[in-house]
Amino acid sequence: MADTATESAFVEFERVQKSYDGENLVVKDLNLSMPKGEFLTMLGPSGSGKTTCLMMLAGFETATHGEIKLGGKPINNIPPHKRNIGMVFQNYALFPHMTVAENLSFPLEVRKMGKSEREAKVKRALEMVQMGAFGGRRPAQLSGGQQQRIALARALVFEADLVLMDEPLGALDKQLREHMQFEIKRIADNLGITVVYVTHDQTEALTMSDRVAVFDDGRIQQLDPPDVLYEEPKNSFVAQFIGENNTLEGVVQEIKGDTCIVKLDGGEVIDAMPVNVAGVGERTRVSIRPERVEFNKDRLSPDAHTLKATVKEFIYMGDIFRTRLSVAGNEDFVVKTRNAPDAVRLEPGQQIDIGWLPRDCRALDA
């Protein structure tokens, strides 16, 4: 999928390809443009091409074909240290023999900046990440979260045009990771900086980004704001990769406008939105999110679909209940319901009716 470049684009990839062996393309014909101040996340499984794109933007890898532009100027032949790009890695890459302040001062010294200006910029960068009192410490005296803040401050210290982050929170525990997601987003928004962020963690991508580019097999499968990506996946890969998802297999029997009739492999017939179907008589995979399914009859609307289901597992998770069902040949059909006073509690083996609205059901590629 291509995202046409615009005049206001700050970062642009134009028909960029990358091959390491001259035969196999790791990145295939990438077109992407992003405006100044955007927080864009490149999300995808290992080997999907997202990190290679980041490394080409940083200048550590060279594009085999195509052009990369920053602020309207081609940067393919500009060395990394002249691109004015800040980098934050998972392993922090802090110099252990230097203090925090010296670590931050180093990129400024490389740029031949005077001592008093360096000190002012280091002080400002440390305050941005709420680490003003830690300038005299060494990296070994800091926790993982503190080291990550210093790595972020170092990327911000020389007022870079662009900050690239490669799995920066991968080494942190869950709670700290979640805290840092909000922290990084807050700092980026406050400073109005442009960020390209690489992760394989979908929750991180949905939480932090203005837009997310979902990569698979060297291509962008979909590029959209987080809510569009989750609510309106364009193909089966995106539906499965972003959030939890239920699929039912079947054949398209009829297509009328914005509805198609699908005969499921179990024999049931349902309506769905024909988002990405090959045509009548062709196989399809129907996608329904777990929280869009109801089994409380009072809450089902008159035009909802209903199917028979057997309860396999009912799990209490505090704020939600997670129910695993056998539905139309799928033994792992999941329903998530809120833990509310009127919530239905179920027992394994129980036969129930479940339902959903046709608009919540998307017919995608098989």
Nearest to 181 by CA among 159, 198, 205: 205
Nearest to 39 by CA among 168, 193, 142: 193
- Tell me if 1 is assigned to some domain: no
| Average confidence (pLDDT) over 267-271 | 90
pLDDT in tens, 8-60: 789 999 999 999 988 889 999 999 999 999 999 999 998 899 999 999 999 99
Q: How far is CA 275 from the centre of its chain?
A: 21
Please return the burial class of 278, using the count of CB atoms within 10 Å of its CB with bins 0-12, 13-18 and 19+: exposed
pLDDT at 266 over 80: yes
- Whether 176 and 72 map to the same domain: the answer is yes
Residue 301: the pLDDT is 72
Q: Where are the alpha helices (DSSP H) in 72-201?
A: 100-110, 115-128, 144-156, 174-191
Going 117 to 123 to 127 to 131, the CA torsion angle's sign is positive
Q: How many domains does the chain have?
A: 2
Share of the chain above pLDDT 70, in %: 97
Looking up residue 335, the CATH number of its domain turns out to be 2.40.50.100
Of the pLDDT bands very low, low, confident and very high (cuts 50, 70, 90), residue 92 is: low
- Whether 184 and 268 map to the same domain: the answer is no
Q: What is the DSSP string of 174-229?
A: HHHHHHHHHHHHHHHHHHT-EEEEEES-HHHHHHH-SEEEEEETTEEEEEE-HHHH
Residue 7: the pLDDT is 54
Beta carbons within 10 angstroms of residue 18's beta carbon: 22
pLDDT at 1 over 60: no
Structural domain of 231: 9-236
Among 217, 236, 255, the domain-final residue is: 236
Please return the burial class of 191, using the count of CB atoms within 10 Å of its CB with bins 0-12, 13-18 and 19+: middle
- Tell me if 4 is assigned to some domain: no
pLDDT in tens, 121-164: 898 888 888 888 888 899 889 888 888 888 888 888 877 889 99
- Whether 278 and 335 map to the same domain: the answer is yes
Q: Is the separation of the CB atoms in 213 and 42 below 8 Å?
A: yes
- Whether 26 and 120 map to the same domain: the answer is yes
- Whether 227 and 123 map to the same domain: the answer is yes
| Average confidence (pLDDT) over 67-91 | 88
SS3 87: strand
- Tell me if 77 is assigned to some domain: yes
- Tell me if 2 is assigned to some domain: no
Looking up residue 153, the CATH number of its domain turns out to be 3.40.50.300
- Tell me if 219 is assigned to some domain: yes
Q: Which residue has the tokens 């698979």?
A: 216
- Whether 135 and 14 map to the same domain: the answer is yes
- Tell me if 261 is assigned to some domain: yes
Residue 5: the pLDDT is 45
Going 321 to 326 to 328 to 330, the CA torsion angle's sign is positive
- E-state strands within the chain: 9-19, 25-35, 39-43, 65-70, 73-74, 85-89, 162-166, 194-199, 211-216, 219-224, 246-256, 259-264, 269-274, 283-288, 305-316, 320-327, 330-338, 351-356, 361-364
Among 181, 215, 236, the domain-final residue is: 236
Give φ, ψ of 285 to 5 degrees: -120, 120
Q: Is the separation of the CB atoms in 266 and 355 below 8 Å?
A: no
Q: Residues near 227 by Cβ (< 8 Å), separated by ≥ 6?
A: none
- Tell me if 3 is assigned to some domain: no
Residue 14: the pLDDT is 95
Among 182, 211, 236, the domain-final residue is: 236
Average pLDDT, the chain: 89
pLDDT in tens, 297-348: 677 777 777 889 999 999 999 999 999 999 998 999 999 999 988 888 889 9
- Tell me if 203 is assigned to some domain: yes
